[in-house]
Amino acid sequence: MKRIIFSILIASAVASCNIDRNPYGSMDSDLVTQNPEGNLGALMNGTYGQLKAWSDPMHRLGEYAGDNMMIRGASTDAFFEFISYERTPNNGRLQTFWDAGYKAVAQASNIIKLVKEGQSVEIDNQLGECYYIRGMMYFYLCRAFGKPYYQNPETNLGVPIVNGTPDDVINDLNLPDRSTVKQTYEQAISDLKKAESLMTMDKKAVFASKEAAQAMLSRVYLYMSGTYKKPNAEYARLSVEYADKVINSGKYILLSRDQFMKYNTFRPEDNKETIFAIKRVASEFSGSDHYYGIGGMYSNIGGMGWGEMYASAKYISLLNETGRNDWRPGHLNIVDARAAFIEPTYSKDQNSGNYTEVFRFIKYEETRDKQGNLVRANKYVQAPITRTGNIITCKDGIETYTLTPKNAQEGSYTISYKDGKTYDGYIDYFITLNGGHPQFYIVKCSREGEDSQLHSPVISRLGEVYLNRAEANAKLGNYGAALTDLNLIRTRSIVNGAYQNLDASNANKLIDRERQLELAYQAERSYDVFRNGEELVREYPGPHNQYRNIPATDYRVTYFIPQTAINSYPGVLTQNPTSN
């Protein structure tokens, strides 16, 4: 009897895992074909299960390499390479991303290979879900390991296209080298279009759907739409077309401002804005396991989580552009709804039991390392203040400074510092320091169902689709339509915050700003920067090299193929360049 290895033998080659020929989870093809509806459910659960292991490193690759967060200090964990851009091919988290991604590709492919279309609406829908998962995986793998699409996609390498287990896994396991970026995108698009055609059932946002495929196609075509300086009109139009399909389906709504500020607490199946999310449940975690989830690095809630990564000063500054977001107890004033996902850890003085008022600002320093090299850095200062009538002073070290009002109502002041520079800052309460950095906790990946660190990673939601359409329309020169969509998202978060005009001179800046604010901590930021040909600038406190900008053409924009995958691959698997 022929056996179909659903855990996937290709995973043992592509993902370099040591598994048995017939691992747990394999199933006789006769059993599946005799009772497809009874067995496909279990097989589909296994396919979705691969996404859970994949989603953790997927988030870290996309988010840690951006400019929305900072870490308290250097770390020996493999994820620090994503932050520092000190790339190596021997990275365990990178390996997990590769392994789990190709296991999902392989398991979906084997179901597609085994089960015929047209048996029932339910079976066709499940096949469509497999096509969606496979297409999504190829896109995510290619954007991590392949260069941005606008850079010679016909010759730059994407990832291997390996759709299923060979019939003879003993004698016919010779896999192809990496396809080009263009070919990989074509495979992803083909799968997603097939998924769109097969899925007709509405099974809520924790399962793939026609609209999930359309939302992903809108994003894929946006990635292919070139830069603002050199847009590709054909792909921009297709991005608009697929965004239209999702928006016009009427199945999703933008949450109200108040509801959006609690987005992270809703289960994805109950959230009317979520199109597709990878469902996690509390029973999957035991004891301190939540420490190791995505949210556990961003915060400590109820004693659960490491709380070692915080919102970057750059992101905090973006949130405050239209008015100060005041998180202080007793002074709470959220101007930008997205600031609701940030929670500073204010601490009281142990002696008085009161909060200590400080002037918080960021100063610039130049020092020399042991080799005599100039090191430039930005550092937080929380200087205690004293009020004497209308005069406010602060003390940093032995120096006392008089603050100059900038917007006294908001607590915004400037300081003429001893280094000759003038810095802006806010009067605030003292925030607990970790590694010298105020803990601006991020909770967007926490508190689902009010469980401290439970989080179901969001893959697509309606807010992103509107932003996709805005960007694609701007690249087509349809600035009026782009402005309408952009302001729909912006005014949801900022009352009376609408942009007044959008044209070729500011479209890039305004749309990029809104995408950064809206999609922060959803693993999109670094890819958004590079696909539009921009530089990543991270001139804010943190242990990263603050003055080493990363251009979109830098070899470090792409991750290395894991060396263990190359070593075990049955065929040639070409590594990414190690220099420009």
The per-residue DSSP string of 90-123 comes to --HHHHHHHHHHHHHHHHHHHHHHHSPTTS-HHH
Helix (H, G, I), strand (E, B) or coil at 176: coil
Tens digit of pLDDT per residue, the chain (580 long)? 333 333 333 343 344 332 222 223 455 555 655 665 667 888 898 899 999 999 999 999 999 999 999 999 999 999 999 999 999 999 999 999 999 999 999 999 989 988 889 999 999 999 999 999 999 999 999 999 999 999 999 999 999 999 876 665 555 578 899 999 999 999 999 999 999 999 999 999 999 999 999 999 999 999 999 999 999 999 999 999 999 999 999 999 999 999 999 999 999 999 999 999 999 998 888 767 778 889 999 999 988 999 999 999 999 999 999 999 999 999 999 999 999 999 999 999 998 999 999 999 999 999 888 888 888 999 999 999 999 999 999 999 999 999 999 999 999 999 999 999 999 999 999 999 999 999 999 999 999 997 789 999 999 999 999 999 999 999 999 999 999 999 999 999 999 999 999 999 999 999 999 999 999 999 999 999 999 999 999 999 999 999 999 999 999 999 999 999 999 999 999 999 988 8
Residue after which a domain boundary falls, among 416, 442, 468: 442
Nearest alpha carbon to residue 453 among 259, 284, 205, 258 = 284
Place of tokens 């130049």: 366
In a domain, 373, yes or no: yes
Phi/psi at 441 (nearest 5 deg)? -60, 145
Shared domain for 476 and 374, answered yes or no, is no
Residue 245 CB neighbours (<10 A)? 18
Q: What is the dihedral of CA 280, 523, 234, 187, to 10 degrees?
A: -60
Amino acid at 3: R
Question: Please, what is the angle between helix 507-519 and helix 479-493, to 10°?
Answer: 40
Has residue 277 been placed in a domain? yes
Please report whether residue 5 resides in a domain.
no
Q: Which 3-state string (H, E, C) describes 7-33?
A: CCHHHHHHCCCCCCCCCCCCEEHHHHH
Same domain, 346 and 430: yes
**Same domain, yes or no: 123 and 61:** yes
The pTM for the full model equals 0.93
Number of domains composing the chain: 2
Confidence (pLDDT) at 42? 83
Which pLDDT value is given to residue 171? 58
Number of Cβ within 10 Å of residue 421's Cβ equals: 10
Which residue, among 365, 29, 363, has the nearest Cα to 167 in the 3D structure? 29
CATH code of 472's domain: 1.25.40.390
Last residue of one domain, picked from the residues 410, 442, 474: 442
- Quote the CA–CA distance of 501 and 417 in Å, as a whole number: 37
State both tokens at 536. Answer: 């990543």
Write out the DSSP string of 220-280.
HHHHTSB-SSSB-HHHHHHHHHHHHHHHHT-S--PPPHHHHTTGGGS-GGG-TTEEEE---
Instruction: Report whether 337 contacts 491 (CB < 8 A).
Output: no
Question: Could you say which of 442, 472, 498 is where a domain stops?
Answer: 442
Per-residue pLDDT at 313: 98
Residues contacting 409, CB < 8 A, separation 6+: none
Assess whether 133 and 226 both reside in one domain: yes
Query: CB–CB of 339/327 below 8 Å?
Result: yes
Beta strand 422-429 pairing with 412-416: antiparallel
In a domain, 8, yes or no: no
Q: What is the rounded distance in angstroms from the CA atom of residue 12 to the CA atom of residue 99?
A: 9
**Rama region for 312: left / alpha / beta (φ>0; ψ in -120 to 50; rest):** beta
Dist. CA 87–CA 82, nearest whole Å: 7
| Same-domain status, 240 and 354 | no
DSSP string, 445-483: TS-GGG-TT----EEEEHHHHHHHHHHHHHHTT-HHHHH
Inside any domain, residue 288: yes
Residues 328 and 387 grouped into a single domain: yes
Same domain, 290 and 271: no
Residues 294 and 395 in one domain: yes
| Residues 394 and 537 both lie in one domain | no
Q: How far is CA 379 from CA 360, 376, 435, in A?
A: 11, 10, 11
Same domain, 494 and 379: no
Domain membership of residue 6 (yes or no) is no
Q: Which residue has the tokens 């009352």?
A: 495
Contacts with 150 (C-beta within 8 Å, 6 or more apart), sequence order = 226, 227, 230, 232, 531, 533
Asked if residues 362 and 356 have their Cβ atoms less than 8 Å apart, the reply is no
Same domain for 333 and 238, yes or no, is: no
Q: Where are the alpha helices (DSSP H) in 164-232?
A: 181-198, 210-223
Structure-token pair, residue 369: 């390392």
Question: At 139, is the secondary structure helix, strand, or coil?
Answer: helix
Per the structure block, which two tokens stand in for 568? 């075990």
Q: Give the three-class secondary structure for 368.
A: strand
Q: Could you tell me if residue 28 is inside a domain?
A: no
With respect to residue 449, please indicate whether it lies within any of the assigned structural domains: no
What range does the domain containing 477 cover?
Answer: 36-282+458-568
* Domain match, 317 and 465 both: no
